[in-house]
Amino acid sequence: MKPIVLILSKSNVDCEAISQAAVSQGCRTVAAGSVEEAPVCLGKLVPSLLYVDAEFAKGGGTLRSLAGAWGGSDIPVILIIKPDIKHAHLKSLKPWVHDYLTTPVVREVAAAQLRNLFRIKDLEQATDKAVSNLEQWLSRCESVVHYFDPFSFDQAKAQDDLAQRLVRRKQTDVDRPACLMVAVPDGKNSLRCDIHTSNGTGPAKLSSRITIPEAMVFHRIKAENGAAAFNHFDRGGRLADFQSHFPPEVLQVTDTIYNVVGLEHSGMYVLAFNYGRPVTSDDALFLKGLSLPGSFLGVVAGNVQDISESFLVMAQALAVATDSQGDRGAHVRRMNEYARVIAESMSLPGRFVQTIAYSAQLHDVGKIYIHPDLLEKPLRLTSQEFDLVKKHPVLGAQILGDSPLLSIARNIALTHHECWDGSGYPRGLSGESIPLEGAIVKVADVYDALRTMHSYKSSYSHGDARRIILAGGGDDLHEIRTSQFHPDVLKAFEQAEAQFDDIYQSVGA
């Protein structure tokens, strides 16, 4: 729609000169001979610019009322003045005037003035848009960083957040697309796509993914260094021909595509369709700025998870290699599960639960330095032999070292034989001085030791093991007192004891 220029002047000569100048700059003009006539002449139209003869602008009241009639002071006002106008009169009008034009008006001067005003307005709009885009980008970065956890990062959640910020909520949002598509390779020379479309109030995600081949639009995006904007009329193109750039599966969702902004990063494509105006390279840059934080953190999370997976495999291999029970690692796997169940029963933080669930298996890693014949001796150990066995907690802590990833495992290795009443080893710790992870694994280790048969002892049933831990008892080799256990851990065991039996029965028993 062409900008509307309202001319409020009694001079037909000035009106004609301004009108010709405005038309030459692509504007539509409306002329009025009085302040009262102006709103009638305009009807429902809102002017983009006001030319007002100084005769009508006494004390600024007229300018104030005119500006207020169409939305305030954002509408530029050009005052038509006589060469001999008094300075005091101009000073009183200054707060409402953007520029001046001397009568009799020269068409070329008015045209140059209009060009400058529209350039300034374009710059102001571009600045406002840039600031708005920057605010959106900062908000997007803050959002993805806020919920970023490399071990549980959800790429779909990041995509939903992007759609909420980008897809239009109403038809008048011409600076926003009507549809957003995120496509990732599926390893079969095709792409899996999630599509978000505008439903009039905001973006709605299609209930199911679609699979598409790599179409021409993806190759064009790659050719443009990974970010591009295309309109159907670019290079004199036809709308029907433009549709051939897109897979039929996408056209079924978007209907006719008039323009598209897209980017490619690490094999993933993000495409935004059907802005309410022609798209430019600035739109591609903005889409790239909004998309990259989530995409980048997705790559980081994937790498961290791969490293974590390798770490867990190595930790399990170390635990199995040092397990003296000859059950192919069943004991250490059960220890992880027992510890997880107790931690969950105690409502401990999720990160702690995750960590203890892989750290418990390393409780006896120090036994790699103890001869197997001593560990499996069928008779009671001599005091000298037992002193050797009691070195394995310290040896285990030394093996695990000071890595932050193994700090809980190190505490477990060092303290899982400490007792709440101070009767344990290697340091005789008591009460709260024993790390909680060590106290948890102590109960788990005692339970599994009672349940498992060795060359030097028979096994106990779940019921007997439960009774011994909760009430005390045992035999010559396992004399258990309830005072040895952390009271809260003992309570958690009592609440979850049925799961202990399930774990023992299902994991290599």
Pairing, β 227-231 against β 259-265: antiparallel
Give me the mean pLDDT over the 422-431 stretch: 95
Cα-Cα-Cα-Cα dihedral sign, residues 315, 418, 491, 432 = negative
| pLDDT recorded at residue 324 | 57
Helical ranges in 185-247 per DSSP H: 216-223, 239-243
pLDDT tens figures, 366-401: 988 888 888 877 777 888 988 999 999 999 999 999
Number of CB atoms found within 10 A of residue 375's CB = 17
Q: Does position 84 have pLDDT exceeding 90, yes or no?
A: no
Say what the pLDDT of residue 201 is: 74
Indicate whether 257 pLDDT > 60.
yes
Amino acid at 445: D
The whole-number average pLDDT for the span 477-495 is: 92
pLDDT, one tens digit per residue, over 12-24 is: 999 999 999 999 9
Contact 178, 168 (CB under 8 A): yes
Tokens 């390779």 correspond to 185
C-alpha triplet 250, 215, 227: angle, nearest 5°: 95
Residue 283 tokens read as 């739109």
Residue 329 has pLDDT above 60, yes or no: yes
- Tokens 């349940």, residue? 451
Which stretches does DSSP call E strand in 75-152?
Answer: 77-81, 99-102
Q: In what order do the strands lie in the sheet with 4-8?
A: 28-32, 4-8, 49-53, 77-81, 99-102
Say which residue, 107 or 380, is predicted with more confidence. Answer: 107
**149 contacts 302 by C-beta, under 8 angstroms:** no
Q: 153-164, pLDDT tens digit by residue? A: 677 777 788 888
| pLDDT level of residue 48 (50, 70, 90 thresholds) | confident
> For 208-232, how does the pLDDT look when each residue is reduced to its tens digit (9 = 90+)?
677 777 777 788 887 777 788 999 9
- Inform me whether the pLDDT recorded for 88 exceeds 60: no
- What's the pLDDT score for residue 293? 74
Q: What is the mean pLDDT of residues 141-161?
A: 71
Question: What is the spatial distance between Cα 108 and Cα 105, in angstroms, rounded to a whole number?
Answer: 9
Read off the pLDDT of each residue in 408-426 and give the average, rounded to a whole number: 96
The one-character DSSP state at 508 is: -
Is the pLDDT assigned to residue 147 strictly greater than 90?
Answer: no
The partner residues of 4 in beta bridges, in order of sequence, read 28
297 contacts 148 by C-beta, under 8 angstroms: yes
Token digits for 157? Answer: 């959640």
Mean pLDDT of 111-129: 83
- CA atoms lying within 13 Å on the CB side of residue 494: 13
Instruction: Give the position of tokens 């020379």.
Output: 189
What six digits make up the tokens of 321? 């290699």
- Mind listing the domains of the chain with CATH numbers? 4-121 (3.40.50.2300), 151-302 (3.30.450.40), 323-508 (1.10.3210.10)
pLDDT at position 505 is 92
The answer to whether the beta carbons of residues 3 and 122 sit under 8 Å apart is no
Token digits of residue 243: 């549709």
- Higher pLDDT: 430 or 321? It is 430
User: Taking a C-beta distance cutoff of 8 angstroms, is the pair 482, 471 a contact?
Assistant: yes
State yes or no: cis peptide before 404, omega within 30 of 0.
no
Q: Where residue 452 falls among pLDDT bands split at 50, 70, 90?
A: confident
Confidence category of residue 362, pLDDT binned at 50, 70, 90:
very high
Q: Mean pLDDT, to the nearest integer, of 274-284?
A: 91
| pLDDT value of position 120 | 84
71: left (phi over 0), alpha (psi -120 to 50) or beta: left
Of 426 and 198, which is predicted with more confidence? 426
At residue 65, does pLDDT exceed 70? no
Instruction: Provide mean pLDDT across the span 173-196.
Output: 85
pLDDT, average across residues 87-116: 81
Residue 456 has pLDDT above 90, yes or no: no
**Would the pLDDT of 80 be above 60?**
yes
pLDDT at 477: 65
Residues 6+ apart with CB under 8 A from 278: 231, 233, 259
Is 63 a residue whose pLDDT tops 70?
Answer: no
449 pLDDT higher than 80: yes
What's the pLDDT score for residue 90? Answer: 63
pLDDT at 166: 86
Cβ pair 414, 313 in contact under 8 A: no
- For 93, what's the count of Cα atoms within 13 Å in the CB-facing half-sphere? 25
Quick one: how many helices (H) and strands (E) in the chain?
19, 14
Cα separation of 272 and 229, whole Å? 9
Torsion of CA 394, 396, 402, 405, to 10 degrees: -140
How far is residue 450's CA from residue 346's CA, in Å, rounded to a whole number? 23
Which two three-digit tokens encode residue 88?
């005091």
Distance, in Å, from the CA atom of 436 to the CA atom of 432, rounded to the nearest integer, reads 8
Q: What is the mean pLDDT of residues 484-496?
A: 97
Token pair listed for 473: 């008892």
Q: What is the pLDDT of residue 352?
A: 95
Angle at which helix 462-471 crosses helix 436-451, to 10 degrees, equals 140
**Which is it for the CA torsion 358, 389, 379, 317, positive or negative?**
positive
Query: Using an 8 Å Cβ cutoff, are 191 and 270 in contact?
Result: no
pLDDT confidence tier of residue 413, bands split at 50, 70 and 90: very high
For residue 180, the one-letter residue type is L
Q: Between residues 249 and 498, which one has the greater pLDDT?
A: 498
Percent of the chain exceeding pLDDT 90 equals 36
Planar angle of CA 120, 126, 129, nearest 5 degrees:
145
pLDDT at position 408, please?
95
pLDDT at position 469 = 95
pLDDT at residue number 148: 67
Query: Which of 58-67, 74-83, 197-206, 344-353 has the largest mean confidence?
Result: 344-353
pLDDT value at 10 more than 60? yes
pLDDT of residue 418: 97
Find out whether 9 and 80 touch, Cβ atoms under 8 Å. yes
Tracing tokens 């006001």 back to the chain, one arrives at 50
- Please state, in angstroms and as integers, the Cα–Cα distance from residue 275 to each residue in 227, 241, 282, following that order: 16, 19, 13
Could you tell me the maximum CA-CA distance found in the chain, to the nearest angstrom? Answer: 121
Distance, CA of 299 to CA of 307 (rounded, Å): 12
